Structure 1
Amino acid sequence: MENTKSLRNWLSAMELSHPLVIAGPCSAETEEQVLKIAHQLKQTDATVLRAGIWKPRTRPGNFEGVGALGLKWLQKAKQETGLITATEVANANHVDLALKHDVDILWVGARTTVSPFIVQEIADALKGTDKIVLVKNPVNPDLALWLGAVERFYASDVKKLGVIHRGFSTYEKTRYRNNPEWQIPIDLQNKFPDLPLILDPSHIAGRRDIIFELCQTALDLNYDGLMVETHYDPDNAWSDAAQQITPATLDKMTVDLRIRKQEGDAVEFNNKLATLRTQIDVIDRQLIDSLGNRMRIADKIGLLKKKNNVAILQTKRWNEILGKMILEGEENNLSEEFILKIYKAIHQESINHQKKVINE
């Protein structure tokens, strides 16, 4: 995928001593606000100034961006600070306006990625561009939809292509605004190893107190950069106030983050790593075998229920299992959220097995 290599080459050419840092307000609010934040970010590790110009909101009535006027503010901030600029585009008209105002990085938002029709419209508008294009994951945890969007830009000969991981919506209540679902971007990287991957911790967290830990996890997984929403007065931001941090906090955070070795050259390190990975492989096989055995027992239970005309779902029994597993999970340093997710999936598979037996 030559497009992805071009962007990685661009990142290498910048000779940064740290991962790429994209920062700036969720929304461009006023010219004064954009310029003030830009000058404060100039004193940090941030290389790119981001700001939302058009803000597609979940529900109408909320602030939906200043529109094209904000592009002039980004342009002025770029002239005064030398920072690269970035904004979200959601249609061909946005692309045309952003290009006319020399925006360097255009990203496609999560709500846009879900629609192949709109993605194709934007890809056609950007055909052959040398601008950087970053594709956020779709709102729902759908790897194929994300890959499809990337492939549309690749087919349009976008020269510098990357992706942004901003988490996924879920109806379940969790500690995140959008669940990270780390395995999905990992699967994306396995398919396109040269595709630069950037974390958007602000949208995953939905609150500023867990942004640091998300960034550290991303660096541990060898992400190429971070996109962090920053504002000099976060509590009074016009949109997504709870998830924004100050440039000063960003500066401290980037100093405190640990950048681990991607691969070790030492023989001892490689041997230890190979041993530990082998141990994980063994345990994974054991897990699959144990789950297979559990479902075979579920089949027998289904047969017994069929003979005695008993309903599949036994709520009291299910609640007992769940309570017991949560306690045992705590003893093994496993979060309640993790145990609930795992055992709900196991329970659903068990019900499916019993349904199949009863309906035969």
Structure 2
Amino acid sequence: MKFNSRESFFAALQADPDRPLVIAGPCSAESEAQVMQTAEALKRQQVHLFRAGIWKPRTRPGSFEGVGSTGLAWLNRVKRELGMKVATEVATARHVEEALKQEIDVLWIGARTTVNPFAVQEIADALQGVNVPVMVKNPVNPDLALWIGALERIYHAGVTDLAAIHRGFSSYQKTKYRNVPVWQIPIELKARYQDLAMVVDPSHIGGKRELIYPVSQKALDLGYDGVMIETHPTPDLALSDAEQQVTPDRLAEIVRQLQVRKTHYDDAELANRSEQLRLQIDAADHDIIAALARRMALVEQIGEYKKQNNVQVLQLERWQEIFRTRADWASEAGVNPAFVEELYKLIHVESIRKQTQILDGV
């Protein structure tokens, strides 16, 4: 699968590829006046793409589910009168057809749709022979294959100006985020498809307006190409996702604060020093893997001992001791204990797998 370059996606939006792409607008189009008021403010800030939800898939019935097709005419007015590119979310073939009739410039597929290959294929079929940029949000749960599959379905319909939107993932654990970033998944996507434009949606990741700037900066530090930030004239009165929207003035402040890092070292001495440090990191990683191999060899010995003595694999008290002490050791060594806790969860899963194989005679 070969996407058009990110430069091509930027060109479709008449955006400078050397600056972050800025996509902004209300979570939901609530009224024609609200849409025009927001768009006029964002026009002055030279936002590249005006976004607004028309059909809003909500978790539970009874909440505001969007104004529907009526709102497409409002977006068309933004395009005609203000000369702005406009975008909206589509979830069905009918949505695609109606959006294209109103000359919507960019479509995006939401997280709840990405998770359903049948729905994505329906949208892809409706896009056959249509030259329109499409952005695809990650699925609700951290499943890279589903994300790639959705991109592939749209690509096979003939759409090559594609972008991925990272909006975070649902989690049963309580965190400071509305949707945890799980940064390694979009990093893996970008590593596989280096030409794919990548946009972060800090509004949905953070769920609170105070997290929008730090999440946006983190994404740019990781090489993302732009941001999609929900913007509303009076966020506290918004009919959907009020806590994660910002005013146009606050959006301008966030964009001004964002720093774009260089992709390479300019100085040969700095590049050489960096390479030396990378070699030392490689050596440290070799030591870590060797230590893991020694640990797993000991785990296998314990597994054999448990088999000989008919003892179950999971020893809860021992696991609790490991989980507690390793975090303490990490703190003493100046390493983030939360990171070490997550690392040992993975190590424990592998240890259980090995011992279970031994007991089952696999």
Q: Is the TM-score greater than 0.5?
A: yes
Aligned to 1:244: 245
SS of the equivalent of 1:298 reads helix
Structure 1 pair 7/331, CA: closer, same or farther in 2 (3 Å)? Answer: farther
SS of the equivalent of 2:44 reads coil
Give the C-alpha shift of residue 16 in structure 1: 6.0
Aligned to 1:346: 347
Give the C-alpha shift of residue 11 in structure 1: 6.2
Letter in 2 for 1:193: Q
Equivalent residues, number: 360
Aligned to 2:194: 193
Structure 1, unpaired ranges of 5+: none
Letter in 2 for 1:44: Q
Aligned to 1:84: 85
Give the C-alpha shift of residue 77 in structure 1: 2.2
Structure 2, unpaired ranges of 5+: none
Structure 1 pair 281/61, CA: closer, same or farther in 2 (3 Å)? Answer: farther
Structure 1 pair 197/333, CA: closer, same or farther in 2 (3 Å)? Answer: farther
- What are the within-5 Å matches in structure 2 for residues 137-156 of structure 1? 137-156=138-157
Aligned to 2:231: 230
Letter in 1 for 2:215: L
Letter in 1 for 2:26: P
**CA-to-partner distance for each residue in 1:176-227, whole Å, 9 max, x for gaps?**
2222121211211222111111111111112222221111111111111110
Give the C-alpha shift of residue 331 in structure 1: 4.1
- Mapped contact 1:23–1:228 kept (Cα < 8 A): yes
Aligned to 1:277: 278
Structure 1 pair 310/135, CA: closer, same or farther in 2 (3 Å)? Answer: same
- What are the within-5 Å matches in structure 2 for residues 1-360 of structure 1? 1-4=2-5, 7-8=8-9, 10=11, 14-15=15-16, 18-332=19-333, 334-360=335-361
**Comparing 146-155 with 265-274, which one deviates more in the overlay?**
265-274
- Mapped contact 1:45–1:254 kept (Cα < 8 A): no
SS of the equivalent of 1:127 reads coil
Give the C-alpha shift of residue 336 in structure 1: 4.7
CA distance in 1, matches of 2:66, 2:337: 39
CA distance in 1, matches of 2:52, 2:241: 12
**CA-to-partner distance for each residue in 1:120-151, whole Å, 9 max, x for gaps?**
11112112322211111112222222112112
Q: CA RMSD in A?
A: 2.0
- Mapped contact 2:13–2:49 kept (Cα < 8 A): no
Percent same amino acid among aligned pairs? 51
CA distance in 2, matches of 1:129, 1:272: 49
Letter in 1 for 2:218: T
Give the C-alpha shift of residue 228 in structure 1: 0.8
CA distance in 2, matches of 1:208, 1:182: 20
Structure 1 pair 331/102, CA: closer, same or farther in 2 (3 Å)? Answer: farther
CA distance in 2, matches of 1:149, 1:13: 25
- Mapped contact 2:13–2:48 kept (Cα < 8 A): no
**CA-to-partner distance for each residue in 1:299-337, whole Å, 9 max, x for gaps?**
122222233333322222222222222233334554454
Give the C-alpha shift of residue 341 in structure 1: 2.2
Give the C-alpha shift of residue 342 in structure 1: 1.8
SS of the equivalent of 1:106 reads strand
SS of the equivalent of 2:311 reads coil
CA distance in 2, matches of 1:317, 1:329: 18
Structure 1 pair 292/121, CA: closer, same or farther in 2 (3 Å)? Answer: same
**CA-to-partner distance for each residue in 1:11-52, whole Å, 9 max, x for gaps?**
695336620000111111111111111122223252211111
CA distance in 2, matches of 1:102, 1:80: 14
- Mapped contact 1:6–1:159 kept (Cα < 8 A): no
Letter in 2 for 1:84: K
TM-score between the two structures when normalised by the length of structure 2? 0.93
CA distance in 2, matches of 1:116, 1:11: 27
CA distance in 2, matches of 1:126, 1:332: 55
